[in-house]
């Protein structure tokens, strides 16, 4: 089962650590789609050289949208080809080399649900809410089956909340409170 990792990026140096956490995965059936939320003239070529990988597809959104990475996530969703998508911003990381394997194994044990929620680490705390919902669920908490929809292209920091609210009323989800795989990098002050 291919898993697509979707990463909106502001071209921060933290993208290198994010990519290293993906590259180190023991689970091999992945694709990493990075949407650069910037204008072409703002691309940092020296940074991109450091994150090249045969399973990584990097593209520029064409201009800086901002909006907490929502437009970049939406554009990346359009290019992703995995059976499931996970959201790992450029200041997030997969915590250990078996993170994707643990996610895949969890999904398979639950008969491949439409979407799943997992705990995330942020500033030394674990964030997990079941049921998921507005202002309680971050994009990092979600693993979503490709066919069920797409990321909303809205200009709001609550886009993840709107997305999960729409999903939970229409699709089956499973919660995995004990499978810890993703988090905000400790040195990061805030997400996209």
pLDDT > 50? residue 191? no
Q: What is the mean pLDDT of residues 150-161?
A: 66
CA pair distance 187, 164, nearest whole angstrom: 28
CA pair distance 165, 170, nearest whole angstrom: 9
Residue 47 in contact with residue 15, Cβ under 8 Å? yes
Q: What is the mean pLDDT of residues 112-141?
A: 85
Torsion of CA 80, 86, 89, 94, to 10 degrees: -120
- Residue 113 corresponds to which tokens in the numbers above? 């649900």
Going by pLDDT thresholds of 50, 70 and 90, the confidence category of residue 52 is very high
Strands 115-117 and 173-175: parallel
Question: By percentage, how much of the chain surpasses pLDDT 70?
Answer: 89
- Looking at residue 50, its pLDDT comes to 95
Domain boundaries 3-184, CATH class: alpha beta
Q: What is the mean pLDDT of residues 32-55?
A: 93
Q: What is the mean pLDDT of residues 46-55?
A: 94
More confident residue, 60 or 68: 60
How far is the CA of 154 from the CAs of 25, 62, 69, 171, in angstroms? 32, 17, 10, 21
- Looking at residue 67, its pLDDT comes to 64
- Looking at residue 156, its pLDDT comes to 63
Q: 45 in helix, strand or coil?
A: helix
pLDDT > 90? residue 53? yes
HEC assignment per residue over 119-175: CEEECCEEECCCCCCCCCCCHHHEEEEHHHCCCCCCCCCCHHHHHHHHHHHHCCEEE
pLDDT > 50? residue 192? no
pLDDT > 70? residue 128? yes
Q: What phi and psi, each to the nearest 5 degrees, are found at residue 132?
A: -70, 160
pTM score of the predicted model: 0.89
Question: By percentage, how much of the chain surpasses pLDDT 90?
Answer: 53
- Looking at residue 154, its pLDDT comes to 61
- Looking at residue 167, its pLDDT comes to 84
Annotated domain spans of the chain: 3-184
Round the average pLDDT of the chain to a whole number and report it.
87
């Amino acid at each position: 089962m291919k898993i697509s990792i979707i990463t909106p990026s502001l071209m921060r140096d933290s993208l290198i650590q994010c990519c290293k956490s993906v590259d180190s995965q023991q689970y091999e059936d992945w694709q990493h789609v990075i949407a650069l939320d910037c204008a072409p003239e703002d691309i940092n070529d020296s940074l991109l050289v450091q994150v090249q990988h045969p399973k990584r597809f990097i593209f520029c959104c064409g201009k800086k949208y901002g909006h907490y990475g929502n437009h970049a996530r939406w554009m990346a969703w359009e290019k992703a080809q995995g059976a499931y998508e996970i959201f790992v911003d450029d200041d997030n990381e997969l915590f250990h080399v078996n993170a994707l394997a643990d996610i895949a194994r969890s999904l398979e044990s639950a008969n491949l649900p439409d979407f799943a929620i997992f705990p995330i680490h942020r500033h030394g705390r674990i964030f997990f809410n079941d049921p998921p919902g507005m202002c309680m669920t971050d994009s990092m908490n979600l693993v979503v089956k490709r066919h069920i929809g797409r990321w909303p292209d809205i200009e709001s920091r609550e886009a993840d909340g709107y997305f999960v609210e729409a999903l939970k009323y229409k699709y089956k989800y499973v919660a995995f409170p004990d499978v810890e795989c993703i988090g905000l990098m400790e040195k990061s002050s805030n997400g996209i």
